[in-house]
Amino acid sequence: MLGCSDSRVPAEIVFGQGLGDLFVIRVAGNIVAPSQVGSVEFAAASFGTRLVVVLGHTRCGAVLATLDELQQPAEEQSPNLRSIVDRVRPSVEGLLRTELRHDREALVRQAVRANIGVSVDHLRHGSDILEELIRLEGLRVVGAEYSLESGLVEFFDDAGI
Protein backbone atom coordinates (compact mmCIF):
# COMPACT_ATOMS: atom_id res chain seq x y z
CA MET A 1 0.00 0.00 0.00
CA LEU A 2 1.20 3.46 -0.92
CA GLY A 3 -0.61 5.99 1.23
CA CYS A 4 -0.37 9.52 2.49
CA SER A 5 1.67 10.27 5.59
CA ASP A 6 -1.32 12.11 7.10
CA SER A 7 -1.82 10.67 10.59
CA ARG A 8 -5.59 10.61 10.04
CA VAL A 9 -5.17 7.79 7.50
CA PRO A 10 -3.28 4.90 9.13
CA ALA A 11 -3.70 2.03 6.67
CA GLU A 12 -3.64 -0.69 9.32
CA ILE A 13 -6.56 0.89 11.16
CA VAL A 14 -8.45 1.91 8.02
CA PHE A 15 -8.41 -1.71 6.81
CA GLY A 16 -8.63 -3.39 10.21
CA GLN A 17 -5.23 -5.05 9.97
CA GLY A 18 -2.56 -5.73 12.55
CA LEU A 19 1.15 -5.13 12.64
CA GLY A 20 2.91 -7.08 9.92
CA ASP A 21 -0.23 -7.65 7.87
CA LEU A 22 0.39 -4.89 5.34
CA PHE A 23 3.45 -3.52 3.58
CA VAL A 24 2.82 0.22 3.92
CA ILE A 25 4.70 3.07 2.29
CA ARG A 26 3.63 6.50 3.53
CA VAL A 27 4.59 9.78 1.94
CA ALA A 28 2.89 13.18 1.79
CA GLY A 29 0.39 13.25 -1.04
CA ASN A 30 0.85 9.53 -1.81
CA ILE A 31 3.32 10.66 -4.48
CA VAL A 32 5.46 8.27 -6.46
CA ALA A 33 9.18 9.01 -6.51
CA PRO A 34 11.98 6.50 -7.20
CA SER A 35 12.19 5.39 -3.57
CA GLN A 36 8.46 4.62 -3.48
CA VAL A 37 8.66 2.69 -6.76
CA GLY A 38 11.59 0.74 -5.32
CA SER A 39 9.64 0.00 -2.16
CA VAL A 40 6.67 -1.31 -4.16
CA GLU A 41 9.03 -3.39 -6.32
CA PHE A 42 10.55 -4.84 -3.15
CA ALA A 43 7.16 -5.74 -1.68
CA ALA A 44 5.91 -7.31 -4.91
CA ALA A 45 9.10 -9.14 -5.90
CA SER A 46 10.29 -10.24 -2.45
CA PHE A 47 7.03 -10.94 -0.62
CA GLY A 48 4.72 -11.92 -3.46
CA THR A 49 2.41 -8.97 -2.94
CA ARG A 50 -0.31 -9.16 -5.61
CA LEU A 51 -2.32 -6.06 -4.75
CA VAL A 52 -0.93 -2.54 -4.51
CA VAL A 53 -3.36 0.11 -3.34
CA VAL A 54 -2.60 3.79 -3.80
CA LEU A 55 -4.64 5.28 -0.97
CA GLY A 56 -5.35 8.98 -1.12
CA HIS A 57 -7.77 10.83 1.10
CA THR A 58 -10.18 13.73 1.08
CA ARG A 59 -8.78 17.18 1.84
CA CYS A 60 -5.17 16.05 1.27
CA GLY A 61 -2.77 18.76 2.45
CA ALA A 62 -0.18 18.03 -0.25
CA VAL A 63 -2.82 18.46 -2.95
CA LEU A 64 -4.12 21.64 -1.29
CA ALA A 65 -0.56 23.02 -1.05
CA THR A 66 -0.04 22.29 -4.74
CA LEU A 67 -3.27 24.01 -5.76
CA ASP A 68 -2.35 27.00 -3.59
CA GLU A 69 1.13 27.15 -5.14
CA LEU A 70 -0.27 27.00 -8.67
CA GLN A 71 -2.86 29.69 -7.96
CA GLN A 72 -0.59 31.97 -5.94
CA PRO A 73 3.12 31.02 -6.09
CA ALA A 74 5.10 31.50 -2.90
CA GLU A 75 8.10 33.81 -2.98
CA GLU A 76 10.26 31.28 -1.18
CA GLN A 77 9.59 27.61 -0.60
CA SER A 78 11.65 24.83 0.84
CA PRO A 79 13.23 22.79 -1.97
CA ASN A 80 12.05 19.67 -0.16
CA LEU A 81 8.44 20.83 -0.06
CA ARG A 82 8.79 21.96 -3.67
CA SER A 83 9.75 18.38 -4.63
CA ILE A 84 6.40 17.15 -3.29
CA VAL A 85 4.47 19.97 -4.98
CA ASP A 86 6.31 19.27 -8.24
CA ARG A 87 5.22 15.62 -8.14
CA VAL A 88 1.58 16.52 -7.50
CA ARG A 89 1.55 19.40 -10.02
CA PRO A 90 1.07 17.36 -13.25
CA SER A 91 -2.03 15.67 -11.85
CA VAL A 92 -3.81 18.89 -10.91
CA GLU A 93 -2.52 21.58 -13.26
CA GLY A 94 -5.03 20.88 -16.02
CA LEU A 95 -7.96 21.10 -13.62
CA LEU A 96 -7.23 24.79 -13.10
CA ARG A 97 -8.03 25.37 -16.78
CA THR A 98 -11.54 23.97 -16.35
CA GLU A 99 -14.69 25.32 -14.74
CA LEU A 100 -13.62 23.56 -11.53
CA ARG A 101 -11.39 26.55 -10.79
CA HIS A 102 -14.57 28.39 -9.73
CA ASP A 103 -15.63 25.73 -7.19
CA ARG A 104 -12.87 25.13 -4.64
CA GLU A 105 -14.56 22.11 -3.03
CA ALA A 106 -15.13 20.34 -6.36
CA LEU A 107 -11.63 21.29 -7.51
CA VAL A 108 -10.02 19.76 -4.43
CA ARG A 109 -12.16 16.62 -4.72
CA GLN A 110 -11.15 16.10 -8.37
CA ALA A 111 -7.53 17.04 -7.70
CA VAL A 112 -7.23 14.39 -4.97
CA ARG A 113 -8.61 11.74 -7.32
CA ALA A 114 -6.46 12.91 -10.23
CA ASN A 115 -3.39 12.69 -8.02
CA ILE A 116 -4.29 9.13 -7.00
CA GLY A 117 -4.73 8.25 -10.68
CA VAL A 118 -1.33 9.63 -11.65
CA SER A 119 0.33 7.65 -8.88
CA VAL A 120 -1.45 4.46 -9.98
CA ASP A 121 -0.41 5.06 -13.58
CA HIS A 122 3.19 5.75 -12.57
CA LEU A 123 3.40 2.47 -10.67
CA ARG A 124 1.76 0.54 -13.51
CA HIS A 125 3.98 2.01 -16.23
CA GLY A 126 7.09 3.39 -14.54
CA SER A 127 8.87 0.19 -13.58
CA ASP A 128 9.96 -2.74 -15.72
CA ILE A 129 9.73 -5.00 -12.66
CA LEU A 130 6.17 -3.98 -11.84
CA GLU A 131 5.08 -4.11 -15.49
CA GLU A 132 6.37 -7.68 -15.72
CA LEU A 133 4.65 -8.69 -12.48
CA ILE A 134 1.41 -7.16 -13.76
CA ARG A 135 1.70 -8.95 -17.09
CA LEU A 136 2.95 -12.34 -15.92
CA GLU A 137 1.95 -12.80 -12.29
CA GLY A 138 -1.32 -10.95 -11.86
CA LEU A 139 -0.12 -7.99 -9.80
CA ARG A 140 -2.87 -5.37 -9.59
CA VAL A 141 -2.33 -1.71 -8.87
CA VAL A 142 -5.51 0.17 -7.95
CA GLY A 143 -6.48 3.52 -6.56
CA ALA A 144 -8.66 4.24 -3.56
CA GLU A 145 -9.80 7.27 -1.62
CA TYR A 146 -10.38 7.37 2.12
CA SER A 147 -13.04 9.79 3.26
CA LEU A 148 -11.98 11.65 6.39
CA GLU A 149 -15.62 12.59 6.85
CA SER A 150 -17.23 9.16 6.68
CA GLY A 151 -14.35 6.74 7.32
CA LEU A 152 -15.23 4.84 4.13
CA VAL A 153 -12.81 3.80 1.39
CA GLU A 154 -13.87 3.97 -2.24
CA PHE A 155 -11.90 1.83 -4.66
CA PHE A 156 -11.63 3.00 -8.23
CA ASP A 157 -12.10 0.95 -11.33
CA ASP A 158 -8.98 -0.99 -12.26
CA ALA A 159 -8.86 0.69 -15.68
CA GLY A 160 -8.61 4.19 -14.28
CA ILE A 161 -10.16 6.82 -12.10
pLDDT in tens, 106-161: 999 999 999 999 999 999 999 999 999 999 999 999 999 999 999 999 999 754 44
Higher per-residue pLDDT: 74 or 131: 131
pLDDT level of residue 76 (50, 70, 90 thresholds)? confident
Q: Is the pLDDT of residue 98 over 70?
A: yes
d(CA 118, CA 129): 18
Interval 33-66: pLDDT, tens: 999 999 999 999 999 999 999 999 999 999 999 9
Looking at residue 160, what is its pLDDT? 45
3-state secondary structure the chain: CEECCCCCCCHHHHCCCCCCCCCCEECHHHCCCHHHHHHHHHHHHHHCCCEEEEEEECCCHHHHHHHHHHHCCCCCCCHHHHHHHHHHHHHHHHHHHCHHHHCHHHHHHHHHHHHHHHHHHHHHHCCHHHHHHHHHHCCEEEEEEECCCCCCEEECCCCCC
On average, the pLDDT of the chain sits at 94
Question: In which band, very low, low, confident or very high, does the pLDDT at 74 lie, cut at 50, 70 and 90?
Answer: confident
Strand arrangement, sheet containing 51-57: 25-26, 2-3, 51-57, 140-146, 153-155
- Give the rounded percent of residues in the chain with a pLDDT score beyond 70: 97
Angle (nearest 5°) at CA 18 between 12 and 22? 60
Domain at 2-155: CATH code: 3.40.1050.10
